Amino acid sequence: MEKFYCNSDYEEYLKEYESRIFGRLGVSSPSSEREIICMAETGNTVACKLYADMIFYKKILRKNCYSDAFELYLKSAGISVDEEGEWNCSGNSYPLSFWIIGYYLVNYKRETLLKNCEDIRIIDNMTLSERIITALSLSEVCIEYVDAPGAVNLIGRILYEIADNDELYEELKEDVSDILEGRFFDKIAFEVGELRSAEDCKSAAEGFLVKAAEEGYVYACNSLAAREADRIVKLSEDDKTMLDEYILNYICFLKLAADRFEPYAANRLGLFYMTGEITSGDKKKRFKEYMDRSKAKEYFIKATNYPDANAAWGYFNLIKYFYNDYVNNIELMNEHMDYINELNPKVYDIAMDL
């Protein structure tokens, strides 16, 4: 497989996008979105990536939205895959598209929005190990050129997956070492140490995730909070020192995401302050000393700011735990129930039983 790389053309394409679209029409207006499509068709790799984003997130309706977006991400990255499955890169590439393709390779028909993705022949023809190591290479090259927290997070996820799978680790350990060991990434000011064991991989994985979280990448924050929760519920009650550290880490990582109005994290943090409970899988522990109704309400409200399916739980929790706010305000109750129904009908059915 040829090494992925970028020439300097994307910098000119970025300037063209900024001057002709962003500077004149803004980011998300219908006019700017139409102009992005026009610019993408001229070969501008930045606009091509933005066009793919609109299809991926269903701002433009397509029958096969994920596979159509994937083709555009490949085009934006200057990547082609021949009939023998060889990946080639022209260098006429927008580096952010590299890690998005890596995201596809890792998550295709496994997790996230791509769990029920339509068939993508290129990915179907790859083994899991080929997908994983190609994604790692793509993400590594991305952060050579730009500070991309999504790519940093993806590298952390990949390293954890490799380290947690003995067979995968044995197959890929040399490739991982070749790609990352001893590397210093000046765009993110991060240095990778030795990668001589699975434990080294886990240590590097956590370093990448923490770096992504520090840069405000909310999904890294949530992943790290989930790992802290797992440590907390498994920890012996006698180990008070480590317990306090893990709880503070749990709060810190959720707060990083919640303060950026990420609804899942805001709800989790609100519930922690409301009930004192931390859950992981089917295990749960309660810490009453951390309960704080005012903080709980603050984070439930933050959970409602960005309108995705998890925001419905913010409204639900406000109604459930702060019902007195609605007793004499039926108009507010109806408004919030309408929001729940629109955002997440399944939560609405649960809310009807409150």
Cross-strand partners of 87: 81
What mean pLDDT value characterizes the chain?
A: 96
What is the percent of the chain with per-residue pLDDT over 90, rounded to a whole number? 94
pLDDT for the residue numbered 241: 79
Identity (one letter) of the amino acid at 324? N
pLDDT band at 173 (very low <50, low <70, confident <90, very high): very high
pLDDT for the residue numbered 3: 85
Residue given tokens 């970028």 in the structure block: 6
Least confident of 59-63, 73-77, 201-205, 345-349: 59-63
pLDDT at 312 > cutoff 80? yes
pLDDT for the residue numbered 1: 47
pLDDT for the residue numbered 119: 97
pLDDT for the residue numbered 2: 54
Q: Per residue in 179-205, pLDDT tens?
A: 999 999 999 999 999 999 999 999 999
Q: Say whether 60 sits in a helix, a strand or coil.
A: coil
Alpha helices per DSSP H over the chain? 9-17, 23-25, 30-40, 45-56, 65-76, 95-107, 121-124, 128-145, 149-163, 166-180, 198-214, 218-234, 240-258, 263-275, 293-303, 311-321, 324-327, 330-343, 345-351
Q: Per residue in 227-239, pLDDT tens?
A: 999 999 998 766 7
Cross-strand partners of 79: 89
**pTM for the full predicted model:** 0.93
Cross-strand partners of 324: none
Q: Say whether 242 sits in a helix, a strand or coil.
A: helix
Q: Per residue in 10-29, pLDDT tens?
A: 999 999 999 999 999 998 89
How many CB atoms neighbour CB 247 within 10 A?
A: 21
Q: Per residue in 101-114, pLDDT tens?
A: 999 999 999 988 89
State how far Cα 68 lies from the chain centre: 21
DSSP 13-28: HHHHHIIIIIHHH-SS
pLDDT at 100 > cutoff 80? yes
The reply to whether CATH 2.60.40 applies to domain 1-122 is no
CA-nearest of 213, 191, 190, 194 to 202 is: 194
Q: Which residues make up the CATH 1.25.40 domain(s) of the chain?
A: 1-122
